[in-house]
């Protein structure tokens, strides 16, 4: 009888310990699985966020490249020219003595600004572009046109010109846009750009070069 009880006891013990072990193994496995799932989830989250970051960065880079290209394209056939009370043409604060136009430009655009304070009657500016050999004639004609005619020559030898005389006082027009038709220009000819306001040519003139 005692022996039977002993055998029963041992059997129960083994069964119990076996079930516990299995349970704890199963729990451990579930925990492990959970951990693994979480880490996989985290990894894929990081990967996808990195991927997202990467594609966003790439997109930004592309936008910047396109912007730069547009800027380069627009700048190469376009220039902003300031004219001042110091009787100077300048670009970005530097004296402008040579205006270079890439030969690829079919049209060249000049945005002329008056950045001074003096009125157009005292310190008016414009731009005329012509062959160097036509300068003297066109300046004479401009003087005859007077302020009423914005000191513009009104002559087809003036290949491009601003519409008006710019000034710096409250009532003056302060900027003008000049479209230069490059088909009028020949590669081996000498051209000049200049202001035809009386007395300004000596200070306000430069070479207009097609390269």
Per CB under 5 A, residues contacting Cu ion are 125, 195, 197, 200, 204
Using the minimum distance from each CB to Cu ion, give the nearer residue, 108 or 151: 151
CB–CB of 85/167 below 8 Å?
no
Cβ at position 82, least distance to Cu ion in Å: 12
Cβ at position 57, least distance to Cu ion in Å: 49
Q: Which residue is nearest to Cu ion (CB)?
A: 195
Cβ at position 134, least distance to Cu ion in Å: 18
Using the minimum distance from each CB to Cu ion, give the nearer residue, 81 or 180: 81
Using the minimum distance from each CB to Cu ion, give the nearer residue, 197 or 208: 197
Question: What does the block give as tokens for 168?
Answer: 């710096």
Cβ at position 168, least distance to Cu ion in Å: 11
Using the minimum distance from each CB to Cu ion, give the nearer residue, 185 or 193: 193
Cβ at position 204, least distance to Cu ion in Å: 5
Rounded distance between C-alpha atoms, residue 105 and residue 158, angstroms: 19
Using the minimum distance from each CB to Cu ion, give the nearer residue, 79 or 195: 195
């Amino acid at each position: 009888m005692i022996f039977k009880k002993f055998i029963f006891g041992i059997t129960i013990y083994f069964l119990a310990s076996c079930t516990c072990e299995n349970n704890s193994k199963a729990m451990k496995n579930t925990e492990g699985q959970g951990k693994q799932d979480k880490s996989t989830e985290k990894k894929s989250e990081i990967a996808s966020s990195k991927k997202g970051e990467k594609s966003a960065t790439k997109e930004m880079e592309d936008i910047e490249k396109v912007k730069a290209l547009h800027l380069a394209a627009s700048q190469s056939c376009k220039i902003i020219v300031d004219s001042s009370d110091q009787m100077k043409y300048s670009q970005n604060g530097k004296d402008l003595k040579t205006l270079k136009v890439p030969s690829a430009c079919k049209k060249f655009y000049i945005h002329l600004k008056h950045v001074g304070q003096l009125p157009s009657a005292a310190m008016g500016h414009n731009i005329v572009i012509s062959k160097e050999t036509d300068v003297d004639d066109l300046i004479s004609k401009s003087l005859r046109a007077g302020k009423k005619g914005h000191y513009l020559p009104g002559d087809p030898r003036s290949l491009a010109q601003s519409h008006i005389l710019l000034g710096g006082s409250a009532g003056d027009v302060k900027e003008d846009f000049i479209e230069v038709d490059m088909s009028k220009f020949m590669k081996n000819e000498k051209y000049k750009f200049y202001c035809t306001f009386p007395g300004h040519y000596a200070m306000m003139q430069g070479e207009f070069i097609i390269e």
